[in-house]
């Protein structure tokens, strides 16, 4: 019999599961708190649950806690890059970045990626499978435990205490390996569990999901009544250049993608943003900046410029700092709100997918 993936069960489903085991509903609440607030690493740690029931849970449920098999720490800015091994031996990456406003975590949503963006290392080995809600939560929880650990707490601070609030991660981006909207149902369960008041209780406003532009899924997401931010990986000012960089552009035309974003913004009232990888000589000219501003000006979304991280399998070069600044200026002059993304963890395997690749090919 397959074991129940208990870490993937949302609060209501967990209560149902527990009462189905002839336990009282309050036991379900305790169990959920142990897993999603205290971030316990085993059923054995859940000391106020009856021992016989903990043994039954161990027997019937899988409870795989992600532990880093590699951790790289930037000497420049303290960025921490984690490589986690999943129960089936696959590996995924996640990153912790420290900003003035708090700790921000970037997680993966799939093992590999099928989208084939030309500048991205995560897609070079193809797509293997979707991550479960438990595996997405597991990345966040493992990093949260690490934060508690390096901030000097032996275990989770008391729930609701100032320490708990002050040490909890403040932002989450689903921008690591994988296309999150290609793993739609699991992504939504993950977001709902992460923002559940019985769990880590992150604000939906502190969550950003990045998509390469799956139009039907963007429309579907708009109807989910979530307060998250949607970021579009745009990377090109027109259809022709987008097709060169992103195979998905052959399926969804650039104007349809941008229209879907407009409609997302209108339906949800949430802001949207754009990711634009700057590739020297490909999409960084004055004419590109002008065309880009015309395409998105009415959306008033923030543009993040990302000087592309060179990967050895592709011949893409990052523009000089001056060229990136000139592109930014040109967009600003056209009324676009834009920043050049600060490169975090430049001295470690910074580009998404590189650490995992190094491990699977070693």
Among 179, 284, 288, 349, binds ligand SF4 (CB under 6 A): 179
* Nearest CB to ligand SF4, comparing residues 116 and 227: 116
The verdict on 37 binding ligand SF4 (CB under 6 A) reads no
Of residues 93 and 288, the one with the C-beta less far from ligand SF4: 93
Options 23, 93, 179, 275, the catalytic residue? 93
| Residue 93 is a catalytic residue | yes
Q: Which is nearer to ligand SF4, 122 or 167 (CB)?
A: 122
Whether 61 is catalytic is no
Instruction: Identify residues 84-123 at the interface with ligand SF4 (CB under 6 A).
Output: 113, 115-117, 120, 122-123
DSSP string covering 287-354: HHHHHHHHHHGGG--EEEEEE----TTS---PPPHHHHHHHHHHHHHTT--EEEPP--STTSS-STTH
Say which DSSP state 198 is in: T
If the CB atoms of residues 148 and 316 are measured against ligand SF4, the closer one turns out to be: 316
Q: Should residue 304 be labelled a site residue for ligand SF4 when binding is judged by CB under 6 A?
A: no
Sheet hosting strand 272-278, strand order edge to edge: 68-73, 80-85, 91-99, 102-107, 171-174, 207-211, 229-233, 272-278, 302-307, 338-340
Taking residue 102's Cβ as centre, other Cβ atoms within 10 Å add up to 14
In the region spanning residues 233 to 292, those forming contacts with ligand SF4, defined by CB under 6 A, are: 233
Task: Give me the least distance between CB of 179 and ligand SF4, in Å please.
Answer: 4
Chosen residue from 177, 186, 293, 354 binding ligand SF4 by CB under 6 A:
177
Place of tokens 């806690």: 65
Residues contacting 259, CB < 8 A, separation 6+: none
Min CB(120)–ligand SF4 separation in Å:
3
Catalytic-role residue among 106, 113, 117, 352 = 352
Q: Is 180 in the site for ligand SF4 (CB under 6 A)?
A: no
Nearest-angstrom CA–CA distance, 279 and 248: 18
How far is Cα 208 from Cα 308, in angstroms, rounded to an integer? 20
CA neighbor of 296 nearest in space, from 231, 249, 244, 250:
231
Pairing of β 102-107 and β 110-112: unpaired
Q: Which of residues 195-214 bind ligand SF4 (CB under 6 A)?
A: 212
Tell me how far, at minimum, the Cβ of 290 lies from ligand SF4, in Å: 25
- Return the number of the residue (112 or 199) whose C-beta is nearest ligand SF4: 112
Q: How far is the CB of 106 from ligand SF4 (least distance, A)?
A: 11
Q: Which two tokens stand for residue 2?
A: 């397959």
Structural tokens at position 115: 């989208």
**Which residue, among 124, 137, 53, has the nearest Cα to 356 in the 3D structure?**
124
Q: Which is nearer to ligand SF4, 117 or 257 (CB)?
A: 117
Report, as residue numbers or ranges, the catalytic residues: 93, 352
List interacting residues with ligand SF4 (CB under 6 A): 113, 115-117, 120, 122-123, 177-179, 212, 233
């Amino acid at each position: 019999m397959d074991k129940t993936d208990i870490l993937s069960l949302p609060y209501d489903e967990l209560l149902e599961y527990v009462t189905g085991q002839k336990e009282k509903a309050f036991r379900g609440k305790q169990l959920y708190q142990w897993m999603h607030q205290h971030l316990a690493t085993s059923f054995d740690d859940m000391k106020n649950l009856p021992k016989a029931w903990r043994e039954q849970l161990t027997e019937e449920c899988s409870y795989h806690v992600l532990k880093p098999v590699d951790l790289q720490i930037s000497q420049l800015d303290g960025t921490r890059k984690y490589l986690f091994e999943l129960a089936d031996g696959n590996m995924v990456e996640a990153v912790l970045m420290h900003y003035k406003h708090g700790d921000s975590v970037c997680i993966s949503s799939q093992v590999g990626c099928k989208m084939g963006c030309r500048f991205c290392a995560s897609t070079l080995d193809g797509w293997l499978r979707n991550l479960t809600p438990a595996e997405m939560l597991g990345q966040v929880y493992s990093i949260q435990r690490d934060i508690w650990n390096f901030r000097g707490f032996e275990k989770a601070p008391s729930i609701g205490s100032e320490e708990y609030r002050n040490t909890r991660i403040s932002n989450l981006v689903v921008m690591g390996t994988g296309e999150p909207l290609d793993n739609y149902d699991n992504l939504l369960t993950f977001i709902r569990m992460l923002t559940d008041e019985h769990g880590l209780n992150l604000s939906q406003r502190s969550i950003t999901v990045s998509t390469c532009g799956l139009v039907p899924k963007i429309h579907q997401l708009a109807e989910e009544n979530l307060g998250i931010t949607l970021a579009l990986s745009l990377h090109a000012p027109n259809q022709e250049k987008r097709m060169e960089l992103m195979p998905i552009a052959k399926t969804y035309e650039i104007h349809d993608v941008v229209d879907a974003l407009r409609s997302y913004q209108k339906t949800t009232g949430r802001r949207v943003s754009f990711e634009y990888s700057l590739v020297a000589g490909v999409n960084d000219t004055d004419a590109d900046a002008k065309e880009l501003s015309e395409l998105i000006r009415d959306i008033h979304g923030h543009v993040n410029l990302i000087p592309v991280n060179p990967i050895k399998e592709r011949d893409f070069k990052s523009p000089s700092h001056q060229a990136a600044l000139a592109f930014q200026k040109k967009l600003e002059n056209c009324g676009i709100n834009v920043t050049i993304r600060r490169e975090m963890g430049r001295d470690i395997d910074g580009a998404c997918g590189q650490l995992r690749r190094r491990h699977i090919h070693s």
